[in-house]
Chains A and B, each alone.
Chain A
Amino acid sequence: MATLLSAEQMKQNSRAPGEVEVSAPTAWPLVLAFGFTLVFAGLLTSASVSVLGAVLALAGCVGWFREVFPHEHEEVVPVVLREVSIATKRRVVERLPVATEQVRAWLPLETYPISAGVKGGLAGSVAMAVLACAYGLLRTGSIWYPINLLGAVVYAPSEVPSAAQFNSFHPIIFFIALILHIVTSILVGLLYGAMLPMFARHPIVLGGLIAPVLWSGLLYSIMNILNPVLGSHIDWVWFMASQFAFGIVAGLVVMRQSRVPTRENLPFVLRVGIEAPGLMPPRENGEKRP
């Protein structure tokens, strides 16, 4: 059931009419409400109050009914036309023509998908591992040294292998370190992918500079709690270097991914995946849409 404003009504509405019909004041709703309340109040006081209430309520019903049937009772109010100026009271500012079309916010039209972050994270993990193993080779002559340091995180301090054993290969520790490294890299990659839309223009700055500094700072403050063994053996210069390597490689990999359009500017129906023709009406003033 729907009512359609007729063309006549529309025309009538567009100009201010001389008088307007509004519902006429009436006391019957009050009488009905009073009667209704008295019916209940009779339960608290005496039955005669209820009887009075019922009579009033009946009168109210009849009166109200006559008010709306057969025609709603309306009164005519003359319109007092007043000049109303709708203007802001604050300064009106001149707008600089910065673009052919003014837009209030610059939203990136395209950005990297989250999967780009994950791929970058995995690529960065390889770079990081290579650099870390190079550090082990140069410092102690064994590529297993950094791997054992990382894997030692799961052992209680008393069960940590002695320093001499750090240079040899332990399959279980290797396995643990591998899992840890991959999982952490993927998680950092995911975080990276989620942050990408905020820094959509500069993946290298994000990956190569901001993320490693944040990450290293966080680790520097909690390393002694997280992994005391690594914390006591760590070389922070090399650590930072490997973090930067991670970030730069991740950034490079991200840059090679293809961008996808952002969805902020799309209508809701499109974002929820409904595809049908005519969902996006063409704009009259030729405004561009992503």
Chain B
Amino acid sequence: MSAITTPVAQRPVNWRLPYKGNVGMACLIIAESAIFTIFVVAYLFYLGKSLTGPTPREVLEAPLFYTICLLSSSLTIHLASRFLERGKPGAFLALWFLTIVLGGLFLFGTGQEWHRLIYERGLTISTNLFGTTYYSLVGLHATHVTVGLLMLGIVLLLGLAGRVGQEHSARVDVLSLYWHFVDAVWVVVFTVVYVLGR
């Protein structure tokens, strides 16, 4: 047989594979969902099992305004990445900034609520089972929001320096996928903590 350097086979004309960034982010989201599932299960399992007060009904108020902020940031980030794809960096930056502001508002809301719970209601992570599960679950979500905001902020700075162009739109899409996930998790956390939990 003649010497062949590489296996020769007819190359398919259209060879499409999914973008690795999206696959990687999807995998990360699957893993993160499993983590959140465990925390949500723990929250639901311990509902009403605290031996001492305060109970969720006594102290929790649904943060509707901040929830609307976070959920609408999903829309703004989606529009921002569409504008980047179409090559309109100005509109992209404006909407991206709006996303960060909305996310920041949400974090501020969480901080305000925690301050109220800790200093006015005396609920800390070691007070009772409700405190433990509540702060862990909401804190885990807030951590994800913070990480997301940091990454959004870096993109904003680079964008202001004029370093983010149309060619980066695939990478920016990956980031917005993460942000959508953070929002979707909040829907679950909100339902569990503020709707079912009370």
The short answer to whether A and B are in direct contact, CB under 8 Å, is yes
- Asked whether A85 lies within 8 Å of B4 as measured between CB atoms, the reply is yes
Question: In the complex, how many residues of chain A place their beta carbon closer than 8 angstroms to a beta carbon of chain B?
Answer: 19
Bound CA span A190–B15, Å: 47
- Asked whether A84 lies within 8 Å of B15 as measured between CB atoms, the reply is no
B184 to chain A minimum Cβ distance, whole angstroms, is: 19
Residues of A within 8 A of B11 (CB): 10, 13-14
Do A87 and B15 form a contact, CB below 8 Å, given A1-B22, A70-B163?
Answer: no
Q: Does A86 make an interface contact (CB < 8 A)?
A: yes
Interface size class of B (residues with CB under 8 A): 20 to 34
Residues of B within 8 A of A14 (CB): 11
Within 8 A of B (CB), among A1-25: 1-5, 10, 13-14, 16
Contact of B5 among A4, A65, A83, A87 (CB under 8 A): A83
Residues of B within 8 A of A16 (CB): 5-6
- Asked whether A1 lies within 8 Å of B173 as measured between CB atoms, the reply is yes
Bound CA span A16–B8, Å: 12
Q: Does B19 make an interface contact (CB < 8 A)?
A: yes
Chain A binding surface SS class: loop
Residues of A within 8 A of B19 (CB): 1-3
B11 to chain A minimum Cβ distance, whole angstroms, is: 6
Q: Does B51 make an interface contact (CB < 8 A)?
A: no
Residues of A within 8 A of B2 (CB): 85
A233 to chain B minimum Cβ distance, whole angstroms, is: 67
Do A86 and B22 form a contact, CB below 8 Å, given A1-B170, A4-B16, A70-B163?
Answer: no
Show 26 residue pairs from A and B whose CB-CB distance is below 8 angstroms, ordered by the A residue: A1-B18, A1-B19, A1-B22, A1-B170, A1-B173, A2-B16, A2-B19, A3-B16, A3-B17, A3-B19, A4-B14, A4-B15, A5-B15, A10-B11, A14-B11, A16-B6, A65-B154, A83-B3, A84-B3, A84-B4, A84-B5, A84-B6, A85-B2, A85-B4, A86-B4, A87-B1
Interface residues of A (CB under 8 A from B): 1-5, 10, 13-14, 16, 65, 69-70, 81-87
Given contacts A2-B17, A86-B7, 16 further A-B contacts (CB under 8 A): A1-B22, A1-B173, A2-B18, A2-B19, A3-B17, A3-B19, A4-B14, A4-B15, A13-B11, A70-B163, A83-B3, A84-B3, A85-B4, A86-B1, A86-B4, A87-B1
